[in-house]
Amino acid sequence: MEKLISRVFIAKVDELPKNLGKRVYVGDGNLELAVFKLANGDIRAIENRCPHKAGVLSEGMVSGEYVFCPMHDWKISVVDGKAQGPDVGCVKTFKVAVEDGEVYVLLGEAEEASLPSECSHS
Amino acid sequence: MSKQKLLLIGNGMAGIRAIEEILKLAPDKFDITVFGDEPYPNYNRIQLSKVLQGDTEIADITLNDWNWYEENGISLYTGESVTGIDTKQQTISTDKGRKIAYDKLIIATGSVPFMLPLPGADKEGVTAFRNIRDCEQMIQASQEHKKAVVIGGGLLGLEAARGLLNLGMTVDVVHLSDTLMERQLDKTAGKMLQKELESQGMNFLLEKQSAEIIGEERVAGLKFADGEEVQADLVVMAVGIKPNAALAKDSGIEVNRGIIVNDYLETNVAGVYAVGECVEHRGAVYGLVAPLYQQGQEMAKRICGTESVGYQGSVLSTQLKVSGVDVFSAGKIVEDEETKSVKVFDDWRGVYQKVLIDEGKITGAVLFGDTKDGNRLLGLINKSAPIEEYMDNAASQETGVDLVASMPNEEIICGCNGVTKGAIVDAINSQGLTTVEQVKGCTSASRSCGGCTSLVSDLVACTIGDAFEQNQKESVCSCTTLSKDEVIEEIKAKGLSHTREVMNVLGWTSEEGCSKCRPALNYYLGMLNPTGYKDEKESRYVNERLRANIQKDGTYSVVPRMYGGVTNSKDLRKIADVADKYEVKLIKVTGGQRIDLFGVKKDDLPSIWAELDMPSGAAYAKGLRTVKTCVGADFCRFGTSDSIGLGTQLEKKFEGMNAPHKVKMSVSACPRNCAEGAVKDVGIIGLDGEYEIYVGGNAGTHMRQAELLAKVKTEKEVLETTAAFLQYYRETANYLDRTSVWVERMGIDHIKEVLADEQTFKELNKRMDENMSVVQDGWKEVLEDKTMARDLYENVKIPVGTK
Ligand code: SRM
Ligand SMILES: Cc1cc2nc3c(=O)[nH]c(=O)nc-3n(C[C@H](O)[C@H](O)[C@H](O)COP(=O)(O)OP(=O)(O)OC[C@H]3O[C@@H](n4cnc5c(N)ncnc54)[C@H](O)[C@@H]3O)c2cc1C
Ligand code: SF4
Ligand code: FES
């Protein structure tokens, strides 16, 4: 299937609060992202849907490269999207580009490609 | 040299455990492939009972997660069934058309539940209890239907019945025999069990033979051989299991009741092994994990070429996993002519214990009501110990820690996984383990049915001594070994001022902490330096950070303050107006005497608060929530004082306070205590000319009745005593301990003593005042701070089709 990679503007780097998540609605609401600016300055984007019970990860507590889901405290890597043991599951991750102090997220094919392989089992 | 190909059919408890054993002995010898027809990684089937009973969730019963397979280089095919084995070509084929060669093959296909071949057994709503799907089907049925019938009064049936009761269904248990669990219990214990379960709400239909399942498409009832009928929307068949040996049989492998194996778990075909519930060893078929794990261990040795004596068969022990019912049995359960027994029957406490003795040696045991001797008895039965060995110890009433201390090293602690006391102690000592979770990870003890968790905990306690106390109770979280008191001392001594600084200087193992320590440190820092510390919103739980409680769908609730539960038409009108304007999904009167608006979108929160123009009710806070009041002297014929007035004063004095956990108060104007002071953190009862102050009550997860802290004469004294009490709590409690836990730990007498010292009392009040002097209203703070409003409440919306 043909699918275009769209590159969408999220915010200016300075406008994103450190160690907090931003809730990003894409399109008509079927897809929601959680965008985080980590303590080390990295910006990461994952789907805003906890693998446990679909909690809004954007409101979780951010520690290092992990976000703790605000619903039941699952620990999710914002880098590869995997839930940390003993919990199992993962969320989609999205590529982020920063140019001239502006943050872009790459949607489209990239999302499939970055789905951790273990997820294809379930 | 290329690796040998090892293939496992059956991704279940016995097969995967055997693979774990093989990986231990020869980590690099095999290329391992696993087929399982269920769509999950290996999970703990035993815990399905607890899932059904609501004690745990399906997500939490995984034993080996996807990562485990990956890390060990195992190719896993789930949701795929092996349909043929060609033992000549040494290949297997699957229902997805795959064909794979093997050098060594392990069959671990488990059992299939036995379904009574009744007319109508194919109707919708008839299920077994074996796997996750069955479990989900039952949970689903309980949401739509009311009445369940479980056929089978054995272990499985009773656990299913208990689960269905917990799910809100009415449950009949149908059983062919006249006593329950007759394979594991004698008549006395069986009857005691029945009585106990009846009192839990189970209904028994004993000596009943099922004849037909009636209904249209879905089951409507069950008919018995005697013609009687009962109504049923769900029928669970738990009448037994049979080894799943069809695949082996069709492939020409020798099968009787199960797949026949020798002491090394080898079948009659070279290179083909079998393990688990699907096998028959020396005429015996097992349906519990302990023997299956022993089989796996012996098989692994053979496969890896290690010398061993082989599997010798097992003595079975059983435990019923129904909360509030303790039953245990092992070995022989009924006496014959030769057998003698030791019995204790205590009808009053509901305890029955029977130990069977043949020729002076212990051969079996049945315990009801008090089963803590169970594992020890199993050990004694296994080594045919003389009865004296049991009696000598039984007489002394030992506490848990003494009991494990006195156990010999070879005694089994975890029956399921065959882990001895010695093995656990070794692991603790050699790897510096300090918690039950770590022991579980290293030794597998308590990893299956969980029945031995308290023994393991006692054993950790007695092995590491004082360190256990510290570790279990006091380390702030797993990022550090320091206790709260140590952390606070260090913060004071070194003048630390940020959470990150505390973590760096005190050597946290993770750079940025976790969701446990971050909020705790944030609280401690603020408590120690109320006027100087800048609260870190990133270290607050979502509810506190956003000053609203998050709902399951990511919307929020709004609870404006209503001092003492008193409102007026103007406030009510404002509430009604914003409710309409923002189309809130639910308006509800809370248990805390105020009104809650549910289902508000995050980005609407600031404007709702602005329009309400009422103080925040702080329904999200680790701090003062509500002060509940009764009507009081102005209206009530029994009232002795102005409870509403005093409640309002308390609420105004302490609103906005930060505390280790939430604080709820109440004021009643007579001992009838209509504001429920006995279950509040602080509960005031007005009497004629005097006030009683009760503290440490809790009506939540762990109910606790409040204790009397003081009797005072004036409202001013009530306010000051409350302030001193709360400040002492703020300064000395662990973060997330309610006053109930804290009062229990400190002792009410100690707290009274501290407050009795006039100087201390004054200073506590002074520090409380200092703390309250910087407090702002949670909502106003947001409304006045533009960056905060943007950072926390604004979302980003991206239209479709952007490039
Ligand atoms: C709204 C309310 C239920 C209601 O509709 O009446 C409520 C709702 C919640 N309670 Fe409660 N509790 C409410 C009264 C109570 C009461 C009764 C009372 O206060 O009179 C109790 C038992 C009394 C007690 O605390 O001692 C109570 C014991 C709990 C507990 C267990 C606390 C404990 O120490 O064991 C929790 C969990 C926690 O706080 O960690 C909890 C947690 C919650 C949370 C905040 C769960 C959460 O973290 O998301 C709920 C928010 C629901 C939501 O979607 O907004 N709620 N909760 C009540 C709000 C009162 C208020 O006006 O502020
Ligand atoms: C509700 C419940 C409670 C229990 N409680 C206890 C308890 O308290 N204590 C205790 O010791 N035991 C208990 N048991 C029993 C215990 O779970 C079993 O003894 C154990 O799971 C058996 O392990 P196994 O590997 O032999 O079989 P299983 O765990 O059933 O694994 C076999 C696997 O092989 C798969 N399979 C079968 N055929 C094929 C094929 N052709 N191709 C691919 N895959 C296939 C099956 O789908 C299954 O996943 C309980 C069981 C249940 C259902
Ligand atoms: S009791 Fe409290 S926490 Fe539990 S569901 Fe009800 S409101 Fe939520
Ligand atoms: S929804 Fe995320 S932990 Fe439960």
Q: How many Å lie between the centroid of ligand 2 and the Cα of residue B111?
A: 6
Higher pLDDT, residue A71 or A118: A71
Q: What is the mean pLDDT of residues B231-237?
A: 97
Residues in B 744-803 with any Cβ partner in A closer than 8 A: 790-792, 795-803
Residues 6+ apart with CB under 8 A from B175: B152, B153, B157, B204, B205, B206, B207, B208
Contact B666, B676 (CB under 8 A): yes
Q: pLDDT category, B2, cuts 50, 70, 90?
A: confident
Whether the pLDDT of residue B268 is over 80: the answer is yes
Q: To probe the interface with B, which of A4, A56, A62, A96 has the most B CB atoms within 10 Å?
A: A56
Measured between beta carbons, the chain B residues lying within 8 angstroms of A11 are 796
Q: For residue B298, what are its two tokens?
A: 């012996």
Whether the pLDDT of residue B469 is over 70: the answer is no
ipTM value: 0.68
Whether the pLDDT of residue B603 is over 70: the answer is yes
Whether the pLDDT of residue B417 is over 90: the answer is no
Higher pLDDT, residue B250 or B473: B250
Residue pairs spanning A and B at CB distance below 8 A:
111
SS3 B216: coil
Q: What is the dihedral of CA A26, A32, A33, A34, to 10 degrees?
A: 140
Q: What is the CA radius of gyration of chain A?
A: 14
Backbone angles phi, psi at B522, to 5 degrees: -60, -40
Whether the pLDDT of residue A84 is over 70: the answer is yes
DSSP 8-state secondary structure symbol assigned to residue B770: H
Predicted local confidence at residue A120, as pLDDT: 40
Predicted local confidence at residue B802, as pLDDT: 46
Q: What is the CA radius of gyration of chain B?
A: 32
CA separation for the pair B585, B291 (Å, rounded): 55
Instruction: Residue A79: count other Cβ atoms within 10 Å of its Cβ.
Output: 14
Residues 6+ apart with CB under 8 A from B469: B461
Whether B43 is in the pocket of ligand 2, judged by its Cβ within 6 Å, is no
Range in A81-95, B247-261, B525-539, B760-774 the model is least confident about: A81-95
Q: For residue B590, what are its two tokens?
A: 């809370």
Predicted local confidence at residue B799, as pLDDT: 79
CA separation for the pair B149, B164 (Å, rounded): 9
Whether the pLDDT of residue A3 is over 70: the answer is no
DSSP 8-state secondary structure symbol assigned to residue B219: E
DSSP 8-state secondary structure symbol assigned to residue B262: -
B80 CA: distance to closest CA in chain A (Å): 11
CA separation for the pair B149, B502 (Å, rounded): 58
Q: What is the mean pLDDT of residues B683-703?
A: 93
Predicted local confidence at residue B393, as pLDDT: 63
CA separation for the pair B250, B237 (Å, rounded): 27
Predicted local confidence at residue B463, as pLDDT: 85
Backbone angles phi, psi at B400, to 5 degrees: -50, -50
Q: How many Å lie between the centroid of ligand 3 and the Cα of residue B793?
A: 25
Sign of CA dihedral B649, B652, B657, B661: positive
Predicted structure pTM score: 0.55
Higher pLDDT, residue B772 or B471: B772
Q: For residue B656, what are its two tokens?
A: 């906005």
Whether the pLDDT of residue B199 is over 60: the answer is yes
Residue-wise pLDDT for B114-165, tens only, equals 999 999 999 999 999 999 999 999 999 999 999 999 999 999 999 999 999 9
Whether the pLDDT of residue B661 is over 80: the answer is yes
CA separation for the pair B247, B609 (Å, rounded): 67
Predicted local confidence at residue B457, as pLDDT: 83
Q: What is the mean pLDDT of residues B680-690?
A: 94
Whether A34 is in the pocket of ligand 4, judged by its Cβ within 6 Å, is no
Average pLDDT, chain B: 91
Whether the ω angle into residue A86 lies within 30 degrees of 0, i.e. cis, is: yes
Whether the pLDDT of residue B471 is over 50: the answer is no
Terminal-to-terminal C-alpha distance of chain B? 53
Measured between beta carbons, the chain B residues lying within 8 angstroms of A63 are 510, 512-515, 518
Residue B559 CA: nearest ligand 1 atom is: 62
Residue-wise pLDDT for B698-709, tens only, equals 998 888 999 999
Contact B123, B219 (CB under 8 A): yes
Residue percentage of chain B with pLDDT more than 70? 97
Pairing outcome for strands B4-9 and B104-107: parallel
Instruction: Residue B762: count other Cβ atoms within 10 Å of its Cβ.
Output: 12
Backbone angles phi, psi at B573, to 5 degrees: -65, -40
Closest among B272, B271, B275, B234 to B258, alpha carbons compared: B275
Closest among B71, B83, B240, B87 to B153, alpha carbons compared: B240
Terminal-to-terminal C-alpha distance of chain A? 22
Matching residue, tokens 């404006």: B560
Q: What is the mean pLDDT of residues B741-763?
A: 93
DSSP 8-state secondary structure symbol assigned to residue B661: S
Sort residue B30 into left (φ over 0), alpha (ψ -120 to 50) or beta. Answer: beta
Q: Given A6, A17, A26, which is nearest B803 (Cβ)? A: A6
Whether the pLDDT of residue A122 is over 50: the answer is no
Whether the pLDDT of residue B1 is over 80: the answer is no
